[in-house]
Copies of this chain bind each other. A is one copy, B any other.
Amino acid sequence: VSSSLRLLSVGLGPIGLAAAELALAKRSVALVGAVDVDPGKQGLDLAVLLGRPGAVGIEVEGELAAAIERHRPDAALLCTSSFLPDVHESLLLLAAAGVDVVTPCEEMLVPDFQHPDLAAAIDRVALAGGATVVGTGVNPGFVLDLLPIVASGACRVVRRVLGRRVVDAATRREPLQRKVGAGLEPAEFEARVRGGRMGHQGMRESVALIDRALGFGLDSITQSVHPVLAERELSTRFLEVRRGQVAGVHNVGTGRRGGETVVELDLQMYVGAVNPRDEIELEGDPTLKWTLEGGVPGDIATAAILVNTLARVAEATPGLKTILDLPPARRVG
């Protein structure tokens, strides 16, 4: 369809593939190309990676610049890393070419929180190139931050934001089970935490987005990472956890002002979690408190938010944005 948005899919891990799959189903989007750094994926038809029969007619490429030149996309989904320094070069290439970018890179939710210089550079290039760049996702980007921010619109006063997300990792894909540390010995988990390789990315960005939206003026934004230990033997389709081993991770993102905790976001992702759910409480006037049964399923919903955000980005003025700058993404056909 000539009026649909020409989309380039960059990064074909689980999230990138789920988003590409969804993009193929949308009338409003025409997937025109796919890029991944993995030589094992290059040259394959995208259908192979999607586990679809037949071909979709899109061959995975390795060179982003060449793909931009060849396909002249309107927008790209950039699903390559959780860390801004890792996506920075690709972002600049895309933005300089006038290609809008939507990315689940966790640090891109509030890009200038950890990387003000890189963020400023991206903004300059995006403005010059006429591209809009935004980071989004489910967590961070939706459950523990955007929803309470939107709900705060109904509040005269918000004194505190409390969020709790409980995910049963047994229902999730294997990489996520490994990522939360399921099956590790506690000592190994702690070693990985010290190495900065454990815990959910983006907890601090969620707190920072809330701070920015609600003007709390937080003094400090921190996160803690602890293991959840198995109290009994657990097993999933992919792995076994013995009693006393790690079942998963407990992350808390905290925002403080004047010694008081103003934002506390509590994330538990572990095998065997009971009563999975998303709970939010805005303490204020009025106090608003809700529970989302079962919780928003992360992978499906992240793919959906990425694709649904494309329409918002297409309408927006150029530059590096946050989701606070855009009308809310909604399900598009």
With A142-B154, A152-B331, A328-B150 already in contact, the answer to whether A285 and B305 are too (CB < 8 A) is no
Please determine whether A327 and B330 come into contact, CB atoms closer than 8 angstroms.
no
Residues of B within 8 A of A157 (CB): 331
Please determine whether A327 and B329 come into contact, CB atoms closer than 8 angstroms.
no
Cβ 8 A contact of A327, one of B297, B324, B333: B324
Please determine whether A156 and B22 come into contact, CB atoms closer than 8 angstroms.
yes
Please determine whether B288 and A291 come into contact, CB atoms closer than 8 angstroms.
no
Please determine whether A329 and B289 come into contact, CB atoms closer than 8 angstroms.
no
Cβ 8 A contact of A150, one of B155, B293, B330: B330
CB distance from A218 to the nearest CB of B (A): 14
With A289-B292, A290-B290, A304-B155 already in contact, the answer to whether A213 and B150 are too (CB < 8 A) is no
Q: How many copies are assembled?
A: 2
Q: Is A286 an interface residue (CB 8 A)?
A: yes
With A286-B301, A290-B290 already in contact, the answer to whether A330 and B296 are too (CB < 8 A) is no
CB distance from A110 to the nearest CB of B (A): 15
Given contacts A155-B308, A214-B330, list 12 more A-B pairs with CB under 8 A: A142-B153, A152-B308, A153-B330, A154-B301, A154-B304, A156-B307, A213-B330, A215-B332, A284-B331, A286-B300, A288-B296, A289-B293
Query: Using a CB–CB distance below 8 Å, which chain A residues touch chain B?
Result: 22, 25, 138, 142, 146-147, 149-158, 213-215, 278, 284-286, 288-294, 296-297, 300-301, 303-305, 307-309, 324-333
